[in-house]
Structure 1
C-alpha cells in the first residue's frame, strides 16, 4: 500500500505545483493562452465544471458536490479493492495515479468551483479544442494501468 500512497502524493503534489506555476505565477488566468511549442504544446486556460470534455457540467453547487462525492467514492473503492487484491507494485502505482489525480481535481473544485485545465496539445493539422491537466493524465494512466496490472488469473 506504500506504493499506492507515495504515488498518489507525488501525483497530487505535481498536479497542484503545475497549476500554481502555470495558472497563477505565469498569469494564465488573465492571459488565457501561452504558446509553449505550438501547435504541439499550448497552455490554454479552461475551467471545467464537469468531467472529461466538460460532460455533466453545471454551474450550481449541487453538481460540484456530486462530482466531488463521485470522485471520493471511486477513490475509496479503488483503495479498498487494491488493499484486498494486493496486485503488486505496478497495480498499486496505477491506483496511486488514479487516487492522486482525483485528489488534485477535488481540491480544484473546492478552491475554485471548477477544475483548472491548461494543457492543450494538437498535431498534424488536427486542432484539439480541449484542455486538460496533470491530474487528468494521471487518472487516465491509472485507469489503464489498473486494467493491465490487476485481476487474478483464473485457472480452470
Structure 2
C-alpha cells in the first residue's frame, strides 16, 4: 500500500511541474507562429495596398495580452494562456473585412452606386499557409515540455 502512495505522490509532483513548465515553454512558440502568420498576411495584403494602413494595422497579441483598442475585438479581448490573437484594424484601417471578403455593388437612394470590390483575401490564406507548421512546432514544444517534466 505504501508503494502506491509514493507513486501517487510522484505523479502529483510531475503533473504540478508540467502545469508550471508548459505555459512558459509554449508561449514563445505561439508568438513565433503568430508572427509568421501576421508576416504572411501583411505580404498578401500588399495586393490591396493604397495607403498601407491595413498592412500596418495587422497585430499579434500574445498570451495574457489584450488586443489593441481599435482592432477587430476593440481592445476587449485578452488572449488566454495557450492562445495568440492576430487582428487587423485601427483608427486608420477599419476595412480589413471588406478587403478579405470583397463587396457587392449597392445603390443609394439618390441613384449613385457604391461600386463593387473584388475579394483580395490575405488573412485566411496566411493562416492556411502556416497552420500545419505552427501545429507541428507547438506539438514539438509540448512533447519537449512533457519529457522535461517527466524527467525532473
TM-score with structure 2 setting the length:
0.32
Looking at secondary structure, tell me which structure has more helix per residue: 1
Looking at secondary structure, tell me which structure has more strand per residue: 1
TM-score with structure 1 setting the length:
0.31
Q: Which has the higher contact order (CA 8 A, sep 6+)?
A: 1
Structure having the higher Rg: 2
